[in-house]
Amino acid sequence: MLRLIFQFVLGVSILVVTTIVLLRYFDPPTWSWKIQRELSRPTAYSEVTRHQWVGLDRIAPSVQLAVVAAEDQRFPYHFGIDPEAIMDALEEADRGKRLRGASTLTQQTAKNLFLWSNRDLPRKVLEMGIALLLELFWDKQRILEVYLNIAEFGPGVFGVGAASLYWFQAPVDDLSNNQAARLAAVLPNPWQYRAHPASPYVIERSGWIEQQMDQLGYDWLQQ
């Protein structure tokens, strides 16, 4: 039994590593998060899933910076897992605040590509392990490119290419800072929040994101 378990774990590990190496050079035709959404389609979904892959060189720097500013400001410096963010989240929870996820962009990419949506310990452990592998075999630009193309920005709207057309009727390389910040603002709950017309929460959140973008500067993306 132990030998069978070992062989199974080894086989799955080799499959995951091989897939990660291939996805360094080839765009994923589908991913776990998209499949889950389509299998458990809520009433908020339309019958059409929107997605359009856009290379990083065609995604406006404002969109790239807005997502980094909103989701993971230490993205250029960590190796997939951010101990500082984890400690900050634990300290906030100790002060009585709700425990937040503290997941990096790399961890979110790992989850969206390979894992399930429930917040449980096995998923978090796998998410961290896959995040380390992504950082090992990909560069930061590829991680950001894949994240921006598979994250959900509205019910059934995947990736910034489809999201910019869906919310603003404009290509993603032509968005303003405010529009980019609004896209990033809906990421915590793309079923509840709308980039346009924006709710008071999205307006407030996008204003904060724009402030963070100004403080970080576009050179932050080249770190």
Q: What per-residue confidence (pLDDT) applies to 84?
A: 81
Whole-number Å distance between alpha carbons of 63 and 60: 5
pLDDT grade for 47, boundaries at 50, 70 and 90: low
Residue 13 lies in a domain: no
Residue 128 lies in a domain: yes
Place of tokens 């995947």: 158
Q: What per-residue confidence (pLDDT) applies to 45?
A: 60
Residue range(s) defining the domain that contains residue 138:
52-71+81-222
Q: What per-residue confidence (pLDDT) applies to 92?
A: 58
Query: Cα torsion at 116, 81, 156, 114 (round to 10°)?
Result: -40
Residue 44 lies in a domain: no
Between 69 and 103, where is the model more confident?
Answer: 69
Whole-number Å distance between alpha carbons of 25 and 145: 12
- Arithmetic mean of pLDDT, 101-107: 86
Q: What percent of the chain has pLDDT over 90?
A: 67
- Indicate if the pLDDT at residue 44 is higher than 60: no
Residue 119 lies in a domain: yes
Residue 190 lies in a domain: yes
Per-residue DSSP letters for 103-149?
Answer: --HHHHHHHHHH--SS--HHHHHHHHHHHHHHHHHS-HHHHHHHHHH
Q: What is the 3-state secondary structure (H, E, C) of 47-88?
A: CCCEECCCCHHHCCHHHHHHHHHHHCCCCCCCCCCCHHHHHH
Whole-number Å distance between alpha carbons of 117 and 110: 11
List CB contacts of 99: < 8 A, sequence separation 6 or more.
89, 90, 92, 93
Residue 217 lies in a domain: yes
- Indicate if the pLDDT at residue 164 is higher than 90: yes
Q: What per-residue confidence (pLDDT) applies to 42?
A: 60
- Arithmetic mean of pLDDT, 26-30: 96
Q: Kindly report the CATH number assigned to the domain that includes residue 105.
A: 1.10.3810.10
Contact between 138 and 147 under an 8 Å Cβ cutoff? The reply is no
Q: Number of folded domains in the chain?
A: 1
Q: Which of 213, 182, 188, 215 is nearest to 200 (CA)?
A: 182
Residue 148 lies in a domain: yes
- Indicate if the pLDDT at residue 96 is higher than 80: no
- Arithmetic mean of pLDDT, 147-162: 95
List CB contacts of 167: < 8 A, sequence separation 6 or more.
153, 154, 157, 179, 182, 183, 194, 195, 196
Instruction: Enumerate the β-bridge partners of residue 158.
Output: 51, 152
Q: Give the tens place of pLDDT for each residue, 59-88.
A: 999 999 999 999 999 999 999 998 887 776
The rounded mean pLDDT for the chain is 89
Global pTM reads 0.91
Residue 47 lies in a domain: no
